[in-house]
């Protein structure tokens, strides 16, 4: 039996500072293949080459990955500043349209870090350029030094809503996660439900209320050692179940809500 296809949104990079490539971390591929049980397909997130409509015909679900470039503030009605960092307008164009289309059709997606922020912006929300500059907030950025294990180490607790979709997936309302992001949700979009917070009040888990399919996103990086982590594994397993349901009948698995 053929595995359902999960499109993994890539990012633009310069290899050896000269050669343009579209790439994504191997841990995303591994999580989709080994934990979700799906066929990973890397997507060049550039509207010159792909469109949301074409991708939805080819893929059964999507992972919106993390990435160093941030969503451009013009996408949520704010002016660009130095604090907003670098951008990838091509990915903005593909990802935001794809999120809105998937929500409408019920096609499954999982947003991760930048993908979490893309989901909020696509649904009409806005972002803070730098969480650590806000009063009372912690520094959620990746540690500048150390091994990969140290950078992706579990660093804070996330509390999710009782009876909500993340509670049902995790089997707990309090979980430990890594944290490797600078930006975060400022204003949630009209249908964006914040279902998980870090202890400093930073939004960490969201879903789209009333979406006819799997429409979840997290601010941390569950793809890191997903098969071994007690939080990441059920998240990617639940996503894989939703993708298989879509591939099998081209119908949403369930509506996303707190009920």
Q: What is the pLDDT of residues 66-102, one digit of tens each?
A: 988 899 999 999 988 877 878 899 999 999 999 999 9
pLDDT digits (tens, 9 = 90+) for 193-230: 999 999 999 999 999 999 999 999 999 999 999 999 99
Backbone angles phi, psi at 247, to 5 degrees: -65, -35
**Residue 79 belongs to a domain:** yes
Domain for residue 168, yes or no?
yes
pLDDT digits (tens, 9 = 90+) for 120-139: 999 999 999 999 988 999 88
Q: Which domain holds residue 231?
A: 5-249
Is 239 within the bounds of a domain?
yes
Q: Which of 72, 84, 181, 221 is catalytic?
A: 221
Does residue 254 fall inside a structural domain? no
Q: Any catalytic annotation for residue 72?
A: no
Which CATH number belongs to the domain containing residue 206 in this structure? 3.40.50.880
Look at residues 78, 41, 256 and name the one whose alpha carbon lies nearest to residue 166. Answer: 256
Please give the model's pTM, rounded to 2 decimal places: 0.94
53: tokens are 């409509």
**223 is known as an active-site residue:** yes
Q: Is residue 205 situated within a structural domain? A: yes
Looking from the CA of 32 toward its CB, the CA atoms found within 13 Å total: 30
Domain count, the chain: 1
Classify residue 181: in a domain, yes or no.
yes
Q: Is residue 53 part of a domain?
A: yes
Residue 259 lies in a domain: no
What is the C-alpha to C-alpha distance for residues 169 and 177, in angstroms, rounded to an integer?
15
Three-state DSSP at 236 gives helix
Catalytic residue among 113, 130, 181, 204: 113
Question: What digits encode the pLDDT tens for the residues 166-202?
Answer: 999 999 999 999 998 889 999 999 999 999 999 999 9
């Amino acid at each position: 039996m053929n595995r359902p296809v999960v499109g993994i949104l890539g990012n633009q990079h310069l290899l050896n500072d000269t050669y343009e490539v579209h790439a994504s971390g191997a841990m995303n591929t591994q999580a989709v293949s080994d934990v979700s049980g799906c066929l990973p397909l890397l997507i060049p997130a550039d509207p010159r080459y792909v469109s949301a409509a074409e991708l939805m015909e080819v893929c059964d679900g999507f992972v919106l990955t993390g990435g160093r470039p941030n969503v451009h503030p013009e996408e949520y009605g704010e002016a660009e500043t130095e604090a907003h960092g670098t951008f990838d307008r091509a990915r903005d164009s593909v990802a935001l349209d794809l999120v809105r289309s998937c929500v409408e059709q019920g096609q499954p997606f999982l947003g991760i870090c930048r993908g979490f922020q893309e989901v909020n912006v696509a649904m009409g929300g806005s972002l803070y350029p730098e969480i650590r500059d806000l009063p009372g907030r912690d520094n959620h950025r990746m540690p500048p030094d150390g091994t990969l294990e140290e950078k992706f180490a579990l660093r804070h607790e996330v509390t999710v809503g009782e009876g909500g979709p993340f509670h049902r997936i995790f089997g707990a309302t309090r979980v430990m996660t890594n944290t490797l992001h600078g930006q975060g949700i400022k204003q949630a979009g009209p249908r964006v439900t914040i279902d998980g917070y870090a202890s400093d009040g930073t939004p960490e888990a969201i879903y789209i209320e009333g979406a006819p399919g799997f429409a979840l996103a997290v601010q941390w990086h569950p793809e890191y050692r997903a098969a071994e982590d007690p939080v990441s594994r059920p998240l990617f397993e639940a996503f894989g179940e939703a993708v298989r349901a879509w591939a099998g009948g081209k119908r949403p698995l369930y509506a996303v809500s707190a009920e």
